[in-house]
Amino acid sequence: MPELRVNLDTISRNTAAVASLLRAIGVDLVGVTKGCVGEPRVAAAMLAGGAVALADTRDLNLARLRAALPAAELHRIHLPSVTEPFDPADLCYVSSAAGAAAVAALGPAGAPAPGAAALRRFSGAPRRVMIQVETGDQREGVPVEQLLDLAAVIAADPRLTLEGVGTNYACFKGEPYGIDASVEGVARGARALRGAGYEIHRVSGGNSSVLWHLRPDEMLPAEVTELRCGEALLLGHDALFYEPLPGCRWDACILRAEVLERYTKAVPEGPAERLVLGIGRQDLSSGAVTFLEPGLSEVGRSADYLVVEIAAGFEAPGVGSMIEMLPAYEALVAAWTSPFIKVEFQDR
């Protein structure tokens, strides 16, 4: 059975390195756990490394985190459904008046959410929300020109408290050259809200892609108070150019798959020695993998198999051996959610 080996100590160290990088410029780190399906052990490693809160997109993941880490602040970074019950966590992202109304309809913070267990004492406090602003990714977020209108809707509802503003970039359509404009866009939104009299306590500048911005000749706008990072903590690189981050390791998560076949195949280019590994598209989606052993390169994949070519002169392992590889983020998420991959945790 394929394995995903997860080193919790490395994740904690990666988190500490990123948190230190951000702390030096007065920015907090929120650890995103959707890549590990809200795994509490990974979340605890992020908190131990310096994350001030945890964020996820799925209600089931938030429920796992709430049960295992009741003292942690949880952010729901998935837009609220207007037709189904959802877990609002401690802080909920919204991008429309309808979404804000759906959060308000859940009742005071601390009260049971419909369909969710009540694990906190009733406080009667308004629900805290962050407005998600569109800054170039063309996915979720209120257009900048409608930001003040949405803020007015939230401020008029006593069941809600406007906590701040955030954005997301490089997850859908955002190109690398637009990252500076994205960060400046959310900062400009925060300034506009403050200029209109709103108290904005938090400004979330984006995800792991923004870490590339922290170069010696670049700084984040002063308005940014936090970043939401998951990929950087799990894989040790930024999510824009995939460059290693200072003090981080790339090998916190290692995939292992068995060699099921090794033969020389007749292909149009000439004889090629190949391996067939017992892992495929339904385990990895289309996410890239990097082999730890030299001389191996992927030829392609089907639903159940990964086909690997062996470079000339390289003595690759035989049938029954395990091949180790580093997953890109898409492959990691797919592997972690695959029922056909065994996840093993290591402390050291």
Q: What pLDDT shows up at residue 217? A: 65
Residue closest to 50 by CA, chosen among 89, 21, 92, 86: 21
Tokens coding 46? 């992020």
How many helices and strands, by DSSP H and E, does the chain display?
9, 16
Question: Which residues belong to CATH 2.40.37.10 in the chain?
Answer: 253-346
Q: Which residues of the chain have pLDDT under 70?
A: 110-123, 216-217
Q: What pLDDT shows up at residue 120? A: 40
Tokens coding 89? 């966590």
Q: What pLDDT shows up at residue 62? A: 97
pLDDT per position as a tens digit, 26-50: 999 999 999 999 999 999 999 999 9
- Is the domain spanning 8-235 CATH 3.20.20.10? The answer is yes
- Is the domain spanning 253-346 CATH 2.40.37.10? The answer is yes
Taking the C-alpha atoms of residue 92 and residue 127, their distance in angstroms, rounded to an integer, is 8
Question: Which residues belong to CATH 3.20.20.10 in the chain?
Answer: 8-235
Q: Where are the alpha helices (DSSP H) in the chain?
A: 8-23, 40-49, 59-68, 97-104, 147-155, 179-195, 231-235, 281-284, 329-337
Taking the C-alpha atoms of residue 154 and residue 104, their distance in angstroms, rounded to an integer, is 9
